[in-house]
Amino acid sequence: PPRAARSRTKQMAKVGLREFTSLARVLADGRLLRYGKGSRGATAAFETAFAAQMGCAHVLTVNSGTSALIAALAAAGIGPGDEVLVPAYTWVSTAIAPLAVGAVPVLVDIDESLTIDPAAIEARITPWTRAIMPVHMLNLPCNMAAVMDIARRHGLVVVEDACQAIGVTYRGRPVGTIGDLGAMSFNHHKNMTAGEGGAVLTDDERLFVRAQ
């Protein structure tokens, strides 16, 4: 991978005065629950702003990137008996998420890009395959054109794991907004952090409601 891409992921995001004052506003407001009392809190405001920045219709914030992956698979109706294709090189959450909904993760080789090898995907497709989870590792975007083409031809759902790549674009589009659903992580080691946190991204209102 490009040296810059590797070293970027090694740096932990710094938090400082801007985060302190943002958090102080929430504490001063006193409403720590996301729901209730009608008015919109900081979480809802973030979801609206993040959706606008990413250029997608719906954002659902959750407690982690792992939860975002699980919610995305559940939203797509993936469950027991289903197989989900995941790259052999990733963080464990990509394989744990299918297990969490009762599905079976099936490993697919990566190529020199360090992301899922499109040429290796079709050999792993069986009658039980329901979804592909391409992972944009180390800020390196997957070959999404090839992944989407294979998915459409085989009727598979695409859940992009963009947990390590917030802000990265592929052919001008933010990664995480190209597949049917995308997952982001706001863990301390990621590009943009809240300490812990995550988000599901989708343009499909039905999938959004099911993810909720």
Binding site for ligand PLP (CB under 6 A): 64-66, 90-91, 93-94, 135, 161, 163-164, 185, 187, 198
Give me the phi and psi of 64, to 5 degrees please. Answer: -165, 165
The encoded tokens of residue 125 equal 């497709």
Cβ pair 172, 74 in contact under 8 A: no
Residue 9 beta carbon to ligand PLP: minimum distance, rounded to whole angstroms? 9
Residue 175 beta carbon to ligand PLP: minimum distance, rounded to whole angstroms? 11
- Identify the H or E element spanning 19: helix 17-29
Q: Give bridge partners of residue 59 from the DSSP assignment.
A: 201
* C-beta of 94 vs 177, nearer to ligand PLP: 94
Residue 105 beta carbon to ligand PLP: minimum distance, rounded to whole angstroms? 12
How many angstroms separate the CA atoms of 108 and 115, rounded?
10
Label residue 118 exposed, middle or buried (CB < 10 Å: 0-12, 13-18, 19+). buried
* C-beta of 87 vs 118, nearer to ligand PLP: 87
Chain centre distance of CA 91: 12
Point out the residue whose Cβ comes nearest to ligand PLP.
65
Q: Which of 10, 14, 37, 190 is catalytic?
A: 190
* C-beta of 83 vs 161, nearer to ligand PLP: 161
The question of whether 190 is a catalytic residue gets the answer: yes
* C-beta of 105 vs 198, nearer to ligand PLP: 198
Residue 37 beta carbon to ligand PLP: minimum distance, rounded to whole angstroms? 28
* Residues with active-site annotation: 190
